[in-house]
Amino acid sequence: MSVAFELEYEEFYPRLTVVPPVRPQRAPSRRVQHRRVAAAAVVLGLLVLLALPIRSLGGSTLANAAPAAGQVYVIHAGDTVASIAARVGGGNVAGLEHALTAEAGSDVLVPGEHLLIP
């Protein structure tokens, strides 16, 4: 037999390989099933906690906090110079009202307007 014939034969008829038989898989034991259920419950609990707003856990947002000096305050509907001055606090509310009026340029406040608290 020639070498060329052997190479041609190998190319068209490759060698057969023995594949080990596939064993059927057994069902997982009860212990493994319980661990999987417990892990799924933990993951589900974490997802529920992530979906909750922080306020429901007792936190507070900065939007509800009183404005402080040097902070930019966004005017909301119903805000007046007097109400903002009262929320900022301090001993001199009338002086703060005057400073806020000077900062805004008038007594009329428009919702959405940004006002620097002096």
* Rounded Cα–Cα distance for residues 62 and 76 (Å): 15
What's the confidence (pLDDT) of residue 65?
A: 67
Is residue 91, in this structure, part of any structural domain at all?
A: yes
Read off the DSSP letter of residue 14: P
Q: Is the domain of 104 the same as that of 73?
A: yes
81 and 100 housed in the same domain: yes
| pTM confidence score | 0.46
Per-residue pLDDT, 7 = 63
Instruction: Count CB neighbours of 115 within 10 A.
Output: 20
Evaluate whether residue 6 is within a structural domain. no
Q: Which domain holds residue 41?
A: 28-58
Provide mean pLDDT across the span 102-106: 86
80 domain-assigned: yes
Q: Is residue 95 part of a domain?
A: yes
Residues 51 and 34 in one domain: yes
Q: 3-22 pLDDT, tens per residue?
A: 666 666 666 666 667 788 88
Does residue 23 belong to any structural domain of this protein? no
Q: Which residue has the higher pLDDT, 95 or 18?
A: 95
**CATH number (domain holding residue 111):** 3.10.350
Q: How many domains does the chain have?
A: 2
39 lies in the same domain as 76: no
pLDDT in tens, 36-82: 999 999 999 999 888 877 665 555 555 566 777 788 888 888 888 88
pLDDT at 54: 66
The answer to whether residues 108 and 83 belong to one domain is: yes
Contact between 37 and 78 under an 8 Å Cβ cutoff? The reply is: no
Residue 51 lies in a domain: yes
